[in-house]
Amino acid sequence: MFDTGAGPGPRREPRLTAVPDAGAATPEALLHRTALGEDAAFAALYDLMAPRVYGLCVRVLRDPAQAEEVAQEVLVEVWRTATRFDEHRGSAGAWITTIAHRRAVDRVRSAQAAGDRERRAAASSTETEYDSVVEAATSRLEHRQVRRCLKTLTELQRQAVTLAYYGGHTYRQVATLLEAAVPTVKTRIRDGLAKLRDCLEVAR
Amino acid sequence: MSTEVHTLIGAWALDAVDADERRQVEEHLTECASCAQEAGELREAVWRLSDVTLAEPPAALRERVLAEVRRTRQEAPLVSEPEAAPKPARRVPRLRLPRLRLAVGAAALAAVAAFAGVFATWAVLRPEESPTADRMTAVLEAPDAEVAYQEADGGGRVTVVASESLDEAVVVVSDLAAVDDDRSYQVWLVDEAGQESAGVMDAGDSSATMWIDGLGDTDLIGVTEEPAGGSAAPTLPMVADVALPA
């Protein structure tokens, strides 16, 4: 049952350090080590995820200074709460990106509530929303996947999903922007995401 | 009402709900397993939308974040009570686990059967031609035998019966997540200073029983998934890390 031929090897190998292979540098592995308080693992995780966190904040908030501020909050929160990450409930990428998106959106909404934000979003056409997304895409494979998968959505599904995600709008706001019924938008968002999920899974 | 909440899962995954709705949805997800599954899957799709917005952050941000992190305390992990309703095994690489300290002697054998559900495994080992079978019996029947176990990440369980006086232990690995034929589970003895391999399970096997001679200062017994034949150092995270009774 066991390979007992190995015999007692030399004791005192380095304390549980991750094997330096590709697998060890996954966000999940780095997040686990971050949870153990390893500064170096967090620094590596920063290098891996900061462009995603910062980029998303810029996209939602538009203002680079605010985006930088929120990105800092997000990344410190990742460090602080890495101990609560549960990989059974999702990937490290989803966990970190969710924190970033929520924080960015919360910032947008509190600014809206305070009434100090112009309703320029309403002025921007839905085409612009999508075009600037596409524009941001480079030759990276992932970009192509997401772009291709977004194209499998119906026009209304795609507009609803991108306005909500990149624009930081609630589904009710999206309904207003698209001049569509609120229940319709709710349904389109859900169907659109299901399609996106299926497409991305196939693409992997 | 719950169907109403259910239709919000998509909007929730996009953070396109208000604070009230967010609370309602998240409450609903704790009560509805299939909804939680859908929500998780949508989240996994949604975050990929950020693939197209990657942007290099200002260099100064890195220093500021790392500096703030150095003076920021991490939150304590959420500890689930062993008696709590069955939840999927949580894997946070900290020594937090349900531990049983059981009485002695023959009771230990019964305990292994009861807690690890491995009586069949044990029975297979009984044939006298196995030279370690007697040693295992000795460990299980030792007056100071203590049992510790942990639900493994991905399913199954790792049970350890250790005898301090004998300096020996029996490790029962049962029904871990299935692995392909090019992967092996490997068992490690971990102490303050490091770890050593205690043995590599046959490739593709997810259950095994082993006898360990020479526990020394071992603090915990860990199991990792490795390429077939095992590795020189463990690939983290561990599938299980069973702390031995102090």
State mean pLDDT over A11-18. Answer: 42
- Best mutation target among B29, B49, B218 (most A Cβ atoms within 10 Å) is B49
If you write DSSP's letter for every residue of B93-115 in order, what string do you get? SSS---------THHHHHHHHHH
- Residue A125 pLDDT: 40
- Within 92-131 of A, beta carbons closer than 8 Å to B belong to 93-94, 97-98, 100-102, 105
Residue-wise pLDDT for A125-161, tens only, equals: 444 444 444 344 444 566 788 999 999 999 999 999 9
| Residues B114, B43 share a domain | no
Q: How many independent structural domains does chain B possess?
A: 2
Is the bond preceding residue B245 a cis peptide, omega within 30 degrees? no
Would you place residue B154 in the very low, low, confident or very high pLDDT band (cuts 50, 70, 90)?
confident
Would you place residue A54 in the very low, low, confident or very high pLDDT band (cuts 50, 70, 90)?
very high
- Residue B140 pLDDT: 82
Structural domain range at position B15: 2-59
For residue B60, pLDDT over 90 is answered with: yes
Please report, for chain A, the start and end positions of each structural domain, with discontinuous segments joined by +.
23-117, 123-204
Question: For domain A23-117, which architecture applies?
Answer: Orthogonal Bundle (1.10)
Closest CA to B179 of B153, B199, B197: B153
The distance of Cα A160 from the centroid of its chain, to the nearest Å, equals 18
| Structural domain contains residue B157 | yes
| Residues B149, B225 share a domain | yes
ipTM exceeding 0.90, yes/no: no
CATH label of the domain that carries residue B10: 1.10.10.1320
Q: Which residue from B46, B56, B237 is facing A29, i.e. has the nearest CB?
A: B237
Pick A37 or A112 by higher pLDDT: A37
Contact, B72 vs A34, CB < 8 A? no
| Structural domain contains residue B42 | yes
Weakest-pLDDT range from A103-107, B8-12, B79-83: B79-83
Would you place residue A202 in the very low, low, confident or very high pLDDT band (cuts 50, 70, 90)?
low
| Structural domain contains residue B137 | yes
pLDDT over 90 for what percent of chain B? 29
For residue B234, pLDDT over 70 is answered with: yes
Tokens of A131: 């075009």
Closest residue of chain A to B191, computed from CA coordinates: A15
For residue A27, pLDDT over 80 is answered with: yes
User: How far apart, in whole angstroms, are the C-alpha atoms of residue A125 and residue B220?
Assistant: 60
Q: In the CATH scheme, what is the code of domain A123-204?
A: 1.10.10.10
State mean pLDDT over B130-152. Answer: 80
| Structural domain contains residue B218 | yes
- Residue B111 pLDDT: 52
User: How far apart, in whole angstroms, are the C-alpha atoms of residue A134 and residue A151?
Assistant: 11
- Residue B197 pLDDT: 86
Q: Is residue A39 within 8 angstroms of chain B, CB to CB?
A: yes
| Residues B110, B228 share a domain | yes
| Structural domain contains residue B67 | no
Collapsing DSSP to helix, strand or coil, B16 comes out as: coil
| Structural domain contains residue B140 | yes
| Structural domain contains residue B34 | yes
Pick A144 or B22 by higher pLDDT: B22
| Residues B228, B151 share a domain | yes
| Residues B130, B211 share a domain | yes
- Residue B117 pLDDT: 45
- Within 134-193 of B, beta carbons closer than 8 Å to A belong to 153, 187, 190, 193
Would you place residue B81 in the very low, low, confident or very high pLDDT band (cuts 50, 70, 90)?
low
Q: Tell me whether residues B66 and A39 touch, CB distance under 8 A.
A: yes
Closest residue of chain A to B171, computed from CA coordinates: A2
- Residue B213 pLDDT: 84
- Best mutation target among A193, A198, A204 (most B Cβ atoms within 10 Å) is A193
